[in-house]
């Protein structure tokens, strides 16, 4: 069998970007394997039985403030401009989340302006000296009542933990606004790949120096394939045979449905903080702009067991990860990249940026040069 310069485990953002850079950027021979039957990792999208483009592993919305990441990916896809909007079902109403001026006015039947909302929140916010947990983040901004209506139930469902048991970074992802901006993200670049994520990944991996093997677990081939260096983007604890114990990851179950109706929801995502077993429902046609007589949605149920989707940000997990990180760093010739391998609650653009940094380090150049 031919010698590969790199064996890459996982064909998600981390693995596919590194494969592209190593092959196209510096002529390396790359074998990329994934145990799933498809490329694109968790960003995988496909046409369902009704012919509607859906995201198999839940809604993926691309947003970034990094021009470098956006320009780099733009070589492999055209974009559809898309601003994500989410409503939360609270007290029998659908109101904007992140909490904004309209959320407050509608929840309380008032007609505040931005200054009055500032005052309204200041009167309710709890004054805390240190913001440590995901509860602290929210109660210190909006007070306990809104925290309980919008955050406590959702977080308990999503993580199986109370917000007081999670690092601040989890709920800090969702801001509070005193204006009427109802976008979920405010990043400078917000767009969806025009022909879907999977097509973008196919373009990334379309190079004569890249060989892709699907339905292939790294363990099955590691002793058969000759390679010089390894890039691993799967769960780091699995790589080391759980020698320090299992790193907790939160799992998800997805229930996909197609409805014989053109549209079901006013926006792409509706969050259910307090009702039902699922956390949110996504209607894909909002994300993709596809026109179709039917519509497909997905419900997300959070689980303790199953495939790993989310690292769980809390101190004791960070400590356990550190032990694996020390092993990983001592493992010369093996590079750990991505959300599962570096145990970070990263968005797609952050994983892309991390992969470009790892590539720059591998070839000893700056990251800006590495993306060229």
Environment class of residue 246 by beta-carbon count within 10 Å: exposed (0-12), middle (13-18) or buried (19+)? exposed
Q: Which range touches ligand UDP (CB under 6 A), out of 14-22, 28-36, 166-174, 287-295?
A: 166-174
234 lies in the site for ligand UDP, by CB under 6 A: no
Q: Out of 271, 282, 296, 354, point to the residue binding ligand UDP (CB under 6 A).
A: 271
Q: Out of 34, 182, 237, 283, point to the residue binding ligand FAD (CB under 6 A).
A: 34
Which DSSP string do the residues of 147-205 spell out, in sequence order?
A: HIIIIIHHHHHHHSS-GGGSBTTTGGGS---SSS--BS---SEEEEETT-HHHHHHHHH
302 lies in the site for ligand UDP, by CB under 6 A: no
Residue with smaller CB distance to ligand UDP, 171 or 295: 171
Min CB(286)–ligand UDP separation in Å: 15
Min CB(99)–ligand UDP separation in Å: 9
R_g (Cα) of the chain, nearest Å = 22
What are the two backbone dihedrals, phi and then psi, of residue 298, each rounded to the nearest 5 degrees? -135, 135
User: Tokens in use for 266?
Assistant: 């006013």
Q: Which residues pair with 201 in a beta bridge?
A: none
Residue with smaller CB distance to ligand FAD, 117 or 205: 205
Query: Under a CB-based contact definition with an 8 Å cutoff, are residues 252 and 300 in contact?
Result: yes
77 lies in the site for ligand FAD, by CB under 6 A: no
13 lies in the site for ligand FAD, by CB under 6 A: yes
What's 222's DSSP letter? T
Q: Which range touches ligand UDP (CB under 6 A), out of 15-23, 123-131, 149-157, 311-319?
A: 149-157
Residue with smaller CB distance to ligand UDP, 64 or 216: 64
Cis status of the peptide bond prior to 180, with omega within 30 of 0: no
User: Tokens in use for 207?
Assistant: 């190079």
Burial 326-360 (b: 16+ CB within 10 A, else e): ebbeeeeebbbbbbbbbbbebbbbbbbbbbbebbb
166 vs 159: CA distance, rounded Å = 9
Q: Which range touches ligand FAD (CB under 6 A), out of 3-11, 22-30, 222-230, 289-297?
A: 3-11
Q: Which range touches ligand FAD (CB under 6 A), out of 35-43, 122-130, 315-323, 324-332?
A: 35-43
277 vs 290: CA distance, rounded Å = 29
Q: Which range touches ligand FAD (CB under 6 A), out of 12-20, 147-155, 281-289, 364-372?
A: 12-20
Sign of CA dihedral 136, 137, 142, 144: negative
Q: Which range touches ligand FAD (CB under 6 A), out of 6-14, 123-131, 256-264, 272-280?
A: 6-14
Q: Which does 180 bind (CB under 5 to 8 A by kind): ligand FAD, ligand UDP, none?
A: none
173 lies in the site for ligand UDP, by CB under 6 A: yes
What's 135's DSSP letter? H
Token pair 């973008």: residue: 200
Residues 250-309 that bind ligand FAD (CB under 6 A): 252, 309
Residue with smaller CB distance to ligand UDP, 171 or 176: 171
Min CB(88)–ligand UDP separation in Å: 5
Min CB(342)–ligand UDP separation in Å: 16
Environment class of residue 39 by beta-carbon count within 10 Å: exposed (0-12), middle (13-18) or buried (19+)? buried
- The residues that touch ligand FAD, with contacts defined as CB under 6 A, are 9-15, 33-36, 41-43, 57-61, 217-218, 233-234, 252, 309, 338-340, 346-349, 351
Interacting residues with ligand UDP (CB under 6 A):
88, 97, 150-151, 154-155, 158, 170-171, 173-174, 271, 273
């Amino acid at each position: 069998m031919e010698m590969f310069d790199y064996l890459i485990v996982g064909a998600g953002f981390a693995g596919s970007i590194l494969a592209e850079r190593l092959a196209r950027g510096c002529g390396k021979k790359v074998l990329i394997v994934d145990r799933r039957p498809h490329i694109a990792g968790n960003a995988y999208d496909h046409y369902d039985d009704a012919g509607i483009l859906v995201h198999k592993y839940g809604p993926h919305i691309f947003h970034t403030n990094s021009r470098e990441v956006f320009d780099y990916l733009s070589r492999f896809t055209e974009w559809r401009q898309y601003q994500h909007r989410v409503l939360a079902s609270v007290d029998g109403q659908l109101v904007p989340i992140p909490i904004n001026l309209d959320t407050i006015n509608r929840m309380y039947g008032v007609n505040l302006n931005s200054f009055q909302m500032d005052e309204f929140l200041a009167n309710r916010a709890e004054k805390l000296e240190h913001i440590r947990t995901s509860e602290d983040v929210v109660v210190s901004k909006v007070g306990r009542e809104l925290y309980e209506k919008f955050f406590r139930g959702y977080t308990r469902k999503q993580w199986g933990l109370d917000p007081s048991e999670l690092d601040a970074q989890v709920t800090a992802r969702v801001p509070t606004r005193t204006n009427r901006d109802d976008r979920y993200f405010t990043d400078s670049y917000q767009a969806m790949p025009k022909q879907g994520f999977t097509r973008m990944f196919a373009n990334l991996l379309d190079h004569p120096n890249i060989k892709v093997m699907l339905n292939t677990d790294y363990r099955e081939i590691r002793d058969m394939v000759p390679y010089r260096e390894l890039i691993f983007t799967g769960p780091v604890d699995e790589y080391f045979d759980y020698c320090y114990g299992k790193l907790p990851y939160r799992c998800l179950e997805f229930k996909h449905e197609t409805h014989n109706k053109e549209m079901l929801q006013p926006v792409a995502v509706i969050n259910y903080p307090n009702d039902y077993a699922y956390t949110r429902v996504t209607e894909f046609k909002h994300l993709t702009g596809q026109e179709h007589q039917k519509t497909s949605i997905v419900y997300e149920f959070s689980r303790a067991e199953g495939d790993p989707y989310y690292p769980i940000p809390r101190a004791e997990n960070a400590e356990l990860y550190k032990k694996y990180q020390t092993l990983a760093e001592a493992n010369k010739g093996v590079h750990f990249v991505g959300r599962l391998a570096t145990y970070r609650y990263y968005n797609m653009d952050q994983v892309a940026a991390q992969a470009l940094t790892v590539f720059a380090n591998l070839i000893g150049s700056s990251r800006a040069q590495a993306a060229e």
